[in-house]
Amino acid sequence: MKEIFVTGKTLPEAYHRAIMALDSEGEILSCNDWNQKQKEVSMTFTVEEPLAEPMISRLYIGGFYELQQYVMEVTEGILDFKIGDGNCWEYTYHDRLVNYNGFDQIDFIINELRRNGDSRRAVAIIRDNAVDPFNADPACLQHMQFFIRGGKLHCKVLMRSNDATEASFMNAFAFIMLQKAIAEKLGVGVGSYTHRANSYHCYEKDFPLLEQYVNGIKNKPAEDITYSYKDFYQELMEDSVGEINSAVQKLREQFAASKNNG
């Protein structure tokens, strides 16, 4: 497999370079689990200043509502109640982070880095070999590690598999929001964010979407394919929180009713 390494100052810059590299250097292979082909590389992209603007790429599936919901899933666990519903919800990233066999890994990371700012032990494991090998849709995120270097919190993420066009921007944005939250609790700045995907891929059904993204990156100025988070997108996302919470509450009630009737 081809190894690709790209860097950008902002998240959209690094993400767009990763998309371009996948398109130009990816190998087209079979993907029998999903009955289609895929274009694939091994990808590492690093964001030098994760909170630098513009933070939002327009080239991802969804909008401000979907992005806010996903951030809340990762950082607050708003859908943790669905674990065990029999529809591949055998985990959430949030639950694995704060309740890994009863162990809160986020608390550990914060306490470890308070204990020793030079530590290399601030690690969270996501894969659970008691569950994932038997799940039709095992966790893609495998590992997160945090370092304080130069007075800033750096985050390094490992994905076993990452859908480039449909998931990777949202994954990275939410993980950066988690990085920011941990940094604030530690009283340090936000350092670099590194996103490693052993399989960074685009499914055949999304080849036209990949082409659309590439054409946008090639032919449009950066301001036409990005948004400022602080000056525009953040307000839209925060305004959607009430609607998201209402939808989640209805889903929670439906889930509880189905369990009681089952």
Q: Is 77 left (phi over 0), alpha (psi -120 to 50) or beta?
A: left
pLDDT, tens digit only, all 262 positions of the chain: 999 999 999 999 999 999 999 999 999 999 888 789 999 999 999 999 999 999 999 999 999 999 999 999 999 999 999 997 655 578 999 999 999 999 999 999 999 999 999 999 999 999 999 999 988 889 999 999 999 999 999 999 999 999 999 999 999 999 999 999 999 999 999 999 999 999 999 999 999 999 999 999 999 999 999 999 999 999 999 999 999 999 999 999 988 887 777 5
What is d(CA 243, CA 133) in angstroms, rounded to the nearest whole number?
35
**Which domains does the chain carry?**
3-261 (3.30.572.10)
What global pTM score does this model have?
Answer: 0.96
What is d(CA 151, CA 84) in angstroms, rounded to the nearest whole number?
41
Secondary structure of residue 31 in the 3-state scheme? strand
H or E stretch covering 235? helix 234-239
C-alpha separations of 229 from 67, 72, 76, 139 in Å: 12, 16, 20, 28
